[in-house]
Each structure stands twice: as C-alpha cells, then as structure tokens.
Chains A and B, each alone.
Chain A
Amino acid sequence: MSVVTNTTTIGAIDAPSRRNTELMLLGIAVAIAVFAYVNVGLAIDGKLPAGVFGYTAGITLLAAVAHLVVRKFAKYADPLLLPLAVVLNGIGLVMIWRLDQSKRLIKRAEAAWGSFSPDAPKQMLYSAIGIALFVGVLVLLKDHRILQRYTYISMAVALVLLVLPMFFPARNGARIWISLGPINIQPGEFAKIIIAVFFSGYLMVKRDALALASRRFLGLYLPRGRDLGPILVVWAMSILILVFETDLGTSLLFFGMFVIMLYVATERTSWIVFGLLMSGVGAVGVASISPHVGARVDAWLDPFDCATAACDQVSNSIMSFGAGGTLGTGLGQGNSDLIGFATNSDFILATVGEEFGLAGMMAFLMLYGLIVERGIRTALAARDPFGKLLAVGLSGAFAIQVFVVAGGVMGLIPLTGMTMPFVAAGGSSVIANWALIAILIRISDTARRPAPAPAPSSDAEMTQVVRP
C-alpha cells in the first residue's frame, strides 16, 4: 500500500498482487456453497441431492474462469471482491433451489399458472451469463477511464432504459419490466451502472463550478441555477419513476447515489441537506398520492393489522426472521415459503434469516458490508477523480440497494421491491451485479497497480519534494 502514494522520486516497489489470496478465498467460497447445497439435500430428502456434482462443477468452473481472467487482465485487483460475490451467488443458488423444493410454492404455482417451473436452473444460467459479462468487461475495458468518453451517451441510454418500462404493462403493481417475448428484463438494474458512469463523467467536469460558484445563504452554499439544473432533473426523474412505475426502490437508489456522488465531488455538506430535503418532499408527496406506495407504508407501520397483500408478505417475512431465532431452523427446515409470492426473489433474505438464524444473518450482512467497504476502499485508492467517483457511486448504490431491500423485508423501512444483489432469483439483477463487480475490480486494479518506474532524471537527487 505504501507505494501507492506516488512520487516520482521513489522507485516503484512491486506491490503484491494478492492473486493467491483470492484463489484461497475463492476455494472457501465455493466450499461453503457446496456444503450448503449438500446440507439442503440431506435435510429435505435425507440423501445427497442429485445435482450435487453438476452444481459443484458449475460453480467451480465459473469461479475458476473468473479467477483466471482476473489473474490475467486485472493482476492487482482487490482480492476480496470476487470471492465475496461468488459466495453470495453460490448461497443464493442454494436458497433458490431449496425454495424450488417447497411443496407449498409448487402447489401455489400450479394453482396460479397451471404448472411449476423451478428457478434454480434459470438462475444458474443467469449466473453464467453474469460471469461471461464479468469476463467481457475485464477483457474489453482495459482502463476504466475510457468510460469517460461515453458520459452523455450513458445519460441517453440510462434515460431510455428508465423510461421504457412505462410502455409495458405493470406486473404485480410495478412497471419495472421490459418484456421481449419470453425474456423479461428489469432495466433499472443496468441503468444503475450506466447512470453512475454518467454522473462520474458529468461531476468530474462540473465539480469546481458546483463547489465554488455558489452563494452563501443561512450557512449553506446555494449553488447557481444553471448548476442546480441537472440535480433538479434527476430529482424530477426519480419522482417520475416513482409515479409512473410505482418503483420506490429504484427512485430512492438513483437519488441516493446522485447525492453521494455530488457530495464526494464537491465536498460540500449543503448538497446532502438539499438531497435529503428533496427526497423527503418527493417521498411524502408520492406516498400520500399513490395507493400502491401508500399500502406499503401502511404495511410497514403495522404489518400485523391490515389486510393487503403487502401486509401479509411483510408480516410473514417478519415472522420468518422470528422463527429463525439465534441459530436458525437449519437449511431446508424453515417455513419461509409461507410468504408465498416473491419468496425467492424480493423476500429471499427471509429464508436466510429463518434457516441460518441471527448468526447467519449477521454473517450475510457483513458479506454485503465488506463488498461495499472494499468498493469505497477502491475509491480512496483510485488516483483519478473519475475512478473515485465511479467506484463510490457503484458502492454507494450497492449499499443503498442492500439497505433498502433488507430493511424492507425486515420491516425497518417500507417495502420497495428490489432484489438482494446476487442472492435473489432474477436474471437482470445477477447479470448487472456481476458487471458492477467487474468495474470495481477494474478500478481497483488500476488503483493498486504499481506506478511505472520513473524515467531516469538527472535532477532527481537534487530535488527535495516537500509534501504538506
């Protein structure tokens, strides 16, 4: 680490690449996932699950490919990010497979659609596509700064992605899907990354104007109108998403991400005050108008005393956590499938809570926390403002998403209907999050890469570098 503070007078010392650490952690991650899979099989059927070799081979292969690509194309990357993603994805697969075995959910699906199709094989396929995208990003994106060139294209793409679902029919109360034949895509998950690229590019250019060209008013720095414009646009956009797509989670995510990045770019606390004020006004306004959001707020305030579907889900989810207790019921032995709808997607954390117990939940939350903090560590280490902003934007978005989903299913905040990254069933989510991890790994590789050896300089010995 010490060599990262780069001065040309000191020669580069080769930093450890930490690739072997990553390999060892990956081995542990794969082992945990495989053990969990075997455990579920033994608990439900009393014998090894039929797919144990396929699953082991599949997840080992995916981890190995990802590791080799990192070793080749991002030699100095943070060694924790990949194993953390693998263990979450692996356990997520096990939980989805475990819920596929639930008689209750099978009966429910047969009653609703006439047939039941397991989600685990699909999730395995999506994970493979996700890893493929991960490989693609690392191979094609040699330097994250290339993304700067696409600042405004990113904005256009993100806007299109966010607006598109309005033209598709609502599913389960929210317009967050694009349906192309058999494929359903949740564009919000991808927009999260693309909009982070746009914010980074835009703020890197405008940060001085935003930070300095402002008037002081009541102890706050009020920005100039023309600099405030984009912020109002984002605010309006997140409200629009909320109103037309009734997607509280996504709008909160974008707005939160933008506030974080603005704050980091300008180093002005006033932006946070504005951000909180505006999101507060927006949220209260929409909650009192939209019945969908209003119902969720009611469900949050008193999940046991209302009759809506959201209430039923939240109260059952909370009881799942209670049933887990300190040590959990054991894998495959809980009743989290009582939640019924969205058990293996939005509410999958309830299954974790019930079957792993409090101990498992804390470990699980720490895994997410570690991903976030490694992302921010990457931002700290990055040498270019664009990389810093992009890393903190992505990590912040990840953190907010985890908080919003987990807080929702635990009844800490109103339910919003986003997916738990890597764990929840859902193609868009798992693919997009693998891309997110790939970009973080790329930035961390650049940040930790030892500086190239300085060109020999005849002045070097005479120059004293005085650092503040």
Chain B
Amino acid sequence: MNKPLRRIAIFCGLLVLALLVRANWLQYVEAEKLNTHDKNRRVLIERYADERGNIIVDGKPITGSVKTDSADFAYKRTYVNGPMWAPVTGYASQVFGANQLEKLEDGILTGNSDQLFFDRTMAMFTDDEKKGGNVVTTLNGAAQKAAFEGLGSKKGAVAAIDPKTGKILALASTPSYDPGAFAGSATADETAWAKLSSKDNKEKPMLNRALREVYPPGSVFKVVTAAAALEHGKVDDINAKTDTEEPYILPTTRTPMKNMVRGCENATLKYALQISCNSVFAKLGDEVGRDKMLETVKKFGFNNDELDTPVRAAMSRYNESMDRPGNSLSSIGQFDTATTPLQMAMVAAAIANDGKLMKPYMVDQLVAPNLDVISKTKPQEMSRPLSSENAQLVRDMMENVVENGGGRKAALGDGVKVGGKTGTAQHGEKNSKRPYAWFISYAMTDDGSPVAVAVVVEDSGASREDISGGGLAAPIAKDVMKAVLDSKR
C-alpha cells in the first residue's frame, strides 16, 4: 500500500503548495491593488488615524482635528467658519470621502505623501506621533469675509485674484454648506449629507459656484471684445466715433440688435462701454470675426478644460463653430458664451496687469509637520492676451465706467483708481428667468494693481427691474477690493 501512500503525500503537498502560491499572490503580487481598493475601509481608517494637517489662511488654520471615540476613526475633521471657506477647503468626511483641497492634498494632510517620507522616518525614531503636513493657501481672510458677507443670503459667487502673481485672494460661493456637518460617521452626519447632496435641493449648496459653475457673462464680456478689437487693429482711437447705425441689424439676418440705453448711434468705444451699448460691441465682434475673437478669448483662458488652481475650474467657453450672427451675439456675452467667475476675474486681472495673465493658484506652500517648506508655488505667466498699451486703453475705458457709468458704487476714493464693468445677463428661454447681475473690477494703486474681482449674483430677492450689475454686484466687489487694500497697509 506504500505506492499510493506516497502519491497521497505528494497530493497533500500540492494542496499546501497551492495555498502557499495563493498567499504569495494575495500578499505580494496583489497587495498594492488590494490596499488601494475603493472598498478597503483601511484607506479611510488610515486617513483619520492621526491628526490631519491643516489648511492655512493668513497664518491661521481654517481646519482642525478632534479626537473621537469611534472604533474606526481616531480623529474627525473640524472647520473654522466652514460655510465661508467651503469653496476653498472642500470637505473631508469619514464616510463620504473628500473633495477639492482636502482631496487633492490628501497625501500632505495625512502625512502619507512620499514627499514626507523623511519626516515620517524621523518621527519613527523620535517616537513622535505621526502628524500630517499643512497646506498654506494664498487666500486673504479679510477679502474672503467681505465676499462671503457681501453675498449674504443672495445666491452667487465671488472670485478675487492678485493680478501680479495670480494668487487667488477670495473664492466665495453662496448658498454654502458646513463641511463639518458631515465630517463624522454619526447618524446626524448622514442626515446632513443626505440633505445637502440631495438632487431635490434646488439651492445646490455644495456647488462651488466660483470655480465650477458657468454663467452667461452678459455685458462684462464687452471688455473682452474691446480688447480683441484693439489687439486686432479694428479700433485705434477709443475716443473716435464708431460707424454704428441704430438699430443695428445682426449680420446676415433681419433681426435688430436691441439696446437697453439711448445714444449708441455712432458712439465712441469709450462711451459705448460706459453706457453698455449692445449694438456697438455686436458690430465690433463681427468686424473682428469669430476666429480672431477666439484667438483673444483663448489667451484670456477660455476653452481650456484643464485650468487647475489646483482644484480644476469648469471650462469657460466661446463657441468655435458658430455663424456670424452667433459670433455677434457672443461678443456681447450672450448666445453660447459662458464663463466661471474665476475666468472673469482673470480677464480683469490681465487688464490690470498690463496685459499679462498670471496663472491663478491658491496653494502657496506645502509644509511638513516640522514646518519645513516642502514645496512653494512660483507665480507663472499663462499668456499675454493684450499689449501693455492696449491694456492701458481698456483700463481708461473701465475707469470711466466707474467714474461716469454704471460702476459708481465700486469707487474707492483715497487716490485708488478703480476700473470696472457691470453686466446684467439675461438667460432662460426668451430671457424668462431672473437675470444674473455681474460686476468685474480691479483696483489700481501707484505700485500696480493688488486685486481684481469678479462678482456674480445669480438670484436675489430684488425685483426684476432692480437687478443690475452696478446695483447688486458692484458694492460686493468694492468691499472685497477695500479689504485687500486695507490688509496691504
């Protein structure tokens, strides 16, 4: 009976060998894949196992961590003034994942990033508790506060940029939400999340309107058209009369272009911007032509679907294949043109910065737990949408809007020059919906411009007639610019 016995011995050996092979497969070959699997709760447990690093504004953290008695998660994320900063921080929830900076910089915040390998190793030897690194933002607390409080109970967004560097100074969106409301894993967190993220919630509080929503820009887009006309030599003198008939008929159609104001016939470019003539700019857009318009708007940052701040902004668009009347309408910010508040702030910033567009960013530094700087973002030039001389001409016109036009409410006085442009963008079928109130502006001091702002108020309690960029949005822009100027002093 020994021969079959030996064979059984081999068979049993093969069974054990199969188990050994399987163990090697799971624990060596597949280990990495399993450890990063979506369903692997260890990823979450690890994320909250140690005190998470903070997101810093003006040297102070706007986030925090508290110890919890949960079996899985040692720490829970907390937020200082959560609703105000939510468009910047995003959220980090034990149950519902993370987004925006909390997600993009997760490696630094948890301390698991390869960039922190040395710190981790050192902490192991010194027996320190493992801690995450910090993310230092470019934001300006006072400007953010002004933006958030200016929007108040209105629905809308504010984006403010430092034109010289591209640093994002304010990024507000209302109605907002408190990311701390669902940071934990209790039932209350679940309820809060369900309520906030529900599709039935028309307020869409979790939408980051400053970065991730596109609006028709309306009249504020005329600044871009003016820049394109100057760049492509269609206008040399902003004080010369244009050859614009009243009413202006859209090219190749019989549709007259409506003006909301009188006095647009043959108006100068400067005056047309001051009183916001649709006809002048529609005609100008047609003269520049779709392709040349595209050339300029792309330099301003339109039609770029990879604009990362590092949180990716939604793509602002200018239609690449429309016909002449379409292009004409798009030139006054209607038809197919749509833009994020950040994009319009970039337009104002490029004009304020002598035609040089800096890439917007909001992470200034990544800092290790021991406060060593791991990386620092260098300002980066993105493009030059217009020449220095033409930028000066557009600024003349925009400053005129604030001095004599619809932007008076944004004036700051004190020797600070403010240039701006109002917009009231109609939308909806046959313009049935409440129009969006827009305002873009910049402040200019002796040593250049410290801030450019874009404000959009999507909806407000004001009656339809009262909605205007100058009335609703300009005061918010003024407060934001003032906050930045005050903090510089």
Contacts and interface: CB of A to CB of B under 8 A. Distances in A.
Interface string A166-186: 000000000000000000000
**Chain A residues touching B, range:** 35 or more
Given A335-B41, A362-B23, 16 more contacts: A260-B8, A267-B3, A267-B4, A318-B26, A321-B23, A323-B42, A335-B45, A358-B23, A365-B19, A365-B20, A372-B16, A376-B9, A389-B1, A392-B8, A399-B16, A402-B15
Interface string A317-359: 0110111111000000001001000000000000001000110
A396 B8 contact: yes
Interface residues of B, number: 36
A424 B7 CA distance: 29
A380 B12 contact: no
Contacts of B71: 103-104, 107
B254 interface: no
Nearest to B70: A103
A238 interface: no
Contact of A380 (B6, B27, B72): B6
Contacts of A403: 15-16, 18-19
Contact of B42 (A335, A379, A392, A396): A335
A230 to B, nearest CB: 19
B4 A353 contact: no
13 contacts: A103-B71, A304-B37, A318-B34, A319-B37, A319-B40, A321-B34, A323-B31, A325-B31, A362-B20, A369-B16, A385-B1, A396-B12, A407-B19
Interface in A374-419: 376-377, 379-380, 385, 388-389, 392, 395-396, 399-400, 402-403, 406-407, 410-412
B27 A406 contact: no
B35 interface: yes
B253 interface: no
Given A380-B2, A406-B19, A322 B8 contact: no
Contacts of B40: 319, 322-323
B13 interface: yes
A407 B2 CA distance: 28
A318 B29 CA distance: 13
Contacts of B16: 365-366, 368-369, 372, 399, 402-403
B30 A322 contact: yes
B33 interface: yes
Interface in B25-52: 26-28, 30-31, 33-35, 37, 39-42, 45
A357 B27 CA distance: 7
A264 interface: yes
A154 interface: no
Contacts of A365: 16, 19-20, 23
A353 B27 contact: yes
A315 interface: yes
B27 A321 contact: yes
A410 B23 contact: yes
Contacts of A323: 31, 34-35, 40, 42
Given A263-B4, A267-B4, A407-B22, A326 B9 contact: no
A337 to B, nearest CB: 9
A322 B12 contact: no
B22 A369 contact: no
Nearest to A265: B1
A361 interface: yes
A298 interface: no
Contact of B8 (A263, A318, A412): A263
Nearest to A368: B16
A373 interface: yes
A324 B22 contact: no
Contact of A358 (B13, B24, B33): B24
A373 B12 CA distance: 8
A398 to B, nearest CB: 9
B371 interface: no
B5 interface: yes
A391 to B, nearest CB: 9
Contacts of A103: 71
Contacts of B26: 318, 321-322, 353, 410-411
Given A264-B1, A264-B5, A322 B33 contact: yes
Interface of A is mostly: helix
Given A104-B72, A260-B8, A264-B5, A324 B27 contact: yes
A369 B13 CA distance: 7
A376 B27 contact: no
B360 to A, nearest CB: 40
Contacts of A324: 27, 31
Given A267-B1, A403-B15, A361 B27 contact: yes
A113 to B, nearest CB: 17
Contact of A322 (B7, B13, B35, B45): B35
Given A358-B23, A365-B23, A410-B19, A319 B42 contact: yes
A323 B28 CA distance: 10
A389 B1 CA distance: 9
Interface of B: 1-9, 11-13, 15-16, 18-20, 22-24, 26-28, 30-31, 33-35, 37, 39-42, 45, 71-72
Interface of A: 103-104, 107, 260, 263-265, 267, 304, 315, 318-319, 321-326, 335, 338, 353, 357-358, 361-362, 365-366, 368-369, 372-373, 376-377, 379-380, 385, 388-389, 392, 395-396, 399-400, 402-403, 406-407, 410-412
A389 B5 CA distance: 9
Contacts of B35: 319, 322-323, 325
Contacts of A325: 27-28, 31, 35
A425 to B, nearest CB: 20
A132 to B, nearest CB: 29
A109 to B, nearest CB: 12
A297 B30 CA distance: 21
Q: Give the 8 A-B residue pairs with the shortest CB-CB distance, closest first.
A: A322-B34, A358-B27, A369-B16, A103-B71, A399-B12, A321-B26, A403-B15, A376-B9
Contacts of B39: 304, 315, 319
Nearest to A379: B5
A153 B415 CA distance: 110
A365 B16 CA distance: 7
A334 B72 CA distance: 12
A361 B23 contact: yes
A388 B1 contact: yes
A322 B1 contact: no
A63 B27 CA distance: 33
Contacts of A104: 71-72
B23 A376 contact: no
A369 B8 CA distance: 13
A228 to B, nearest CB: 19
Nearest to B36: A322
Contacts of A392: 5, 8
A103 B72 CA distance: 9
A411 B23 CA distance: 10
A322 B24 CA distance: 10
Nearest to A264: B4
A376 B18 CA distance: 19
Contacts of B23: 321, 353, 358, 361-362, 365, 410
B466 to A, nearest CB: 54
B154 to A, nearest CB: 44
A325 B26 CA distance: 8
A104 B71 CA distance: 6
Contacts of B8: 260, 263-264, 376, 392, 396
A373 B9 contact: yes
Given A361-B27, A410-B19, A319 B5 contact: no
B13 A380 contact: no
B12 A395 contact: yes
A316 to B, nearest CB: 8
Contacts of A260: 8, 11
A43 to B, nearest CB: 15
Nearest to A375: B12
